[in-house]
Amino acid sequence: MDRILIRGGRPLNGAIQISGSKNAALPLMAAALLTSEPLRLSNLPRLADIASMRQLLAGLGAEVAEVQPAAGEQGQVLEIQASHVASQRAPYDLVRKMRASVLVLGPLLARFGQAEVSLPGGCAIGTRPVDLHLSAMEAMGAEIAIESGYIHASAPKGLTGAEVVFPTISVGATENAMMAAALAQGESRLVNAAREPEISDLAVCLRAMGAEIEGEGSEIITIRGCGSLQGASHPVIADRIEAGTFLMAAAITDGELRLVGAQAAHLERPIAVLRQAGVTVEESDGTLLARRRNGRLRGSDVMTEAFPGFATDLQAQFMALMTTAEGASMITETIFENRFMHVPELIRMGADITIHGASALVRGERRLTGAEVMATDLRASVCLVLAGLAAEGETVINRIYHLDRGYERIEAKLAACGAEIERLTS
């Protein structure tokens, strides 16, 4: 199994191109199932999750081809055509590797009147049920049964537009409901919808495919379903979590990074928190520049929240940063019940952190020292990379397949800015 070796203590300096967003790309790829015409997606990151979604779509019978970027296009470009969908079954083997596989449920059900999707099961960061996805489908008229670990959904006469009131905010359930509603008969109103930039990106693409959608980015999304959707061409937004991670990499190493393509509007709360902690973040011409303001960082409290709040996907990285700040920080995780798996590993590197329920108290100004550590999930992995970059000596991170789910060419991007980092293959 591959590992990452980091020799820490070197400031990062340089420019990094931000890749396309994994979390925007996955629902966009699933949206290709809504039409028999080709959907062309550009600026897709080259990540394990994108490969898994590609495999899932191909397994259903869609044709997925990588094509050369046209003028103005960036990243990986895929043309997905789901004209002959032979199967409506998302198998356990793929769903267990990537929970976002459940995003094929809405499109398959809306277009073909049936879908079988393996229940995702638990996950390192929490139980992560899919009840909100299922109740949204039921509100639109689907019958749902759980048998042998699979969701069996059927709507032989098609889905009907409905008011879906989400009791709690769910990004994935909002996306599934938007895609299903786009092909349902009549109008749907999604109330207490997620407002993440990835939701807005999906709405833009669905609109280009002919869907009538309003209100994305607000708490109520209205969708008037139409009989069929057409092909479209859509560039995926930049990955705000990758950008936020590298803002923190600049700060933790006391370096200076220019992030090309990063969208400040998608990072307002994390940038405000970083500024309060003593990081200068400047925006100009589609880039973000980050460096410490006067050498020292101050402990700052953070609570994770749905967008526009502080993203849970940046919580672990912020915790690594706060281990090096002056004073104490209280970091409260409100989205996932078990997203502190990085804490024992940071402690092994010299951090002083105690967990009290959903909060972690970080006592700062620790000198981190390199150690052999274990990655447990995607953001925990990159938090250990940040800690390793700041630590004295060598850090070896095991189980980095988690990292490959969400960070494109991370060693190359960091090495180009002065990090001593290498992948050890065995």
Ligand X SMILES: C=C(OP(=O)(O)O)C(=O)O
Return the residue matching tokens 């520049």: 289
User: Rule CB under 6 A: is residue 172 a binding residue for ligand UD1?
Assistant: yes
User: Rule CB under 6 A: is residue 121 a binding residue for ligand UD1?
Assistant: no
Closest CB 359 distance from ligand UD1, rounded Å: 16
User: Rule CB under 6 A: is residue 335 a binding residue for ligand UD1?
Assistant: yes
Nearest to 287 by CA among 64, 5, 48, 18: 18
Give the residue closest to ligand UD1 by C-beta.
172
The whole-angstrom separation of Cα 161 and Cα 304 is 32
Helix 197-208 and helix 22-31, axial crossing angle in degrees, nearest 10: 30
The whole-angstrom separation of Cα 90 and Cα 103 is 10
Q: Which stretch binds ligand UD1 (CB under 6 A): 111-119, 123-131, 157-165, 272-280?
A: 123-131
The helix or strand, by DSSP H or E, that contains position 353, with its residue range, turns out to be strand 352-356
User: Rule CB under 6 A: is residue 137 a binding residue for ligand UD1?
Assistant: no
Contacts of 148 by beta carbon, 8 Å cutoff, 6+ apart: none
298-317: contacts with ligand UD1 (CB under 6 A): 312-313
User: Rule CB under 6 A: is residue 103 a binding residue for ligand X?
Assistant: no
Provide the β-strand partners of residue 116: 89, 152
DSSP string of 87-98, one letter each residue: --EE-HHHHHH-
Give the residue closest to ligand X by C-beta.
313
What is the token pair recorded at 16?
């990094």
In terms of Cβ atoms closer than 10 Å to its own Cβ (0-12, 13-18, 19+), residue 168 is exposed
User: Rule CB under 6 A: is residue 340 a binding residue for ligand UD1?
Assistant: no
Distances (CA, A) of 3 to 372, 396, 402: 10, 7, 11
Contacts of 190 by beta carbon, 8 Å cutoff, 6+ apart: 136, 164, 166, 174, 177, 178, 181, 220, 221, 222, 223
* Binding site partner of 3, from ligand UD1, ligand X, none, Cβ cut-off 5-8 A by kind: none
Number of residues forming the site for ligand UD1 (CB under 6 A): 21
- Per-residue binding letters, 44-83, with ligand X (x by CB under 6 A): ----------------------------------------
* Binding site partner of 173, from ligand UD1, ligand X, none, Cβ cut-off 5-8 A by kind: ligand UD1
User: Rule CB under 6 A: is residue 267 a binding residue for ligand X?
Assistant: no
User: Rule CB under 6 A: is residue 379 a binding residue for ligand X?
Assistant: yes
By C-beta, is 130 or 343 nearer to ligand UD1?
130
Contacts of 147 by beta carbon, 8 Å cutoff, 6+ apart: none
SS3 of residue 282 by DSSP: strand
DSSP state at residue 426? -
The whole-angstrom separation of Cα 213 and Cα 58 is 28
Q: Which residues are annotated as a binding site for UDP-N-acetyl-alpha-D-glucosamine?
A: 99, 128-132, 313, 335
Q: Which residues are annotated as a binding site for phosphoenolpyruvate?
A: 22-23
Q: Which stretch binds ligand UD1 (CB under 6 A): 170-178, 222-230, 357-365, 391-399?
A: 170-178
Q: Which residues are annotated as a binding site?
A: 22-23, 99, 128-132, 313, 335
Give yes or no for a contact between 66 and 51, defined as CB atoms under 8 angstroms apart: no
By C-beta, is 91 or 350 nearer to ligand X?
91
Nearest to 325 by CA among 356, 308, 302: 302
- Single residue of 99, 298, 348, 399 touching ligand X by CB under 6 A: 99
User: Rule CB under 6 A: is residue 378 a binding residue for ligand X?
Assistant: yes
By C-beta, is 200 or 222 nearer to ligand X?
200
* Binding site partner of 129, from ligand X, ligand UD1, none, Cβ cut-off 5-8 A by kind: ligand UD1
Q: Is 226 a catalytic residue?
A: no
Closest CB 173 distance from ligand X, rounded Å: 12
User: Rule CB under 6 A: is residue 129 a binding residue for ligand UD1?
Assistant: yes
5-34: contacts with ligand X (CB under 6 A): 23
- Single residue of 93, 131, 163, 219 touching ligand UD1 by CB under 6 A: 131
Nearest to 408 by CA among 44, 56, 69, 72: 44
Under the rule (CB under 6 A), what is the footprint of ligand UD1?
23, 26, 99-100, 126, 128-133, 168, 170-173, 198, 312-313, 335-336
- Name the residues annotated as catalytic: 123
Under the rule (CB under 6 A), what is the footprint of ligand X?
23, 99-100, 313, 378-379, 406
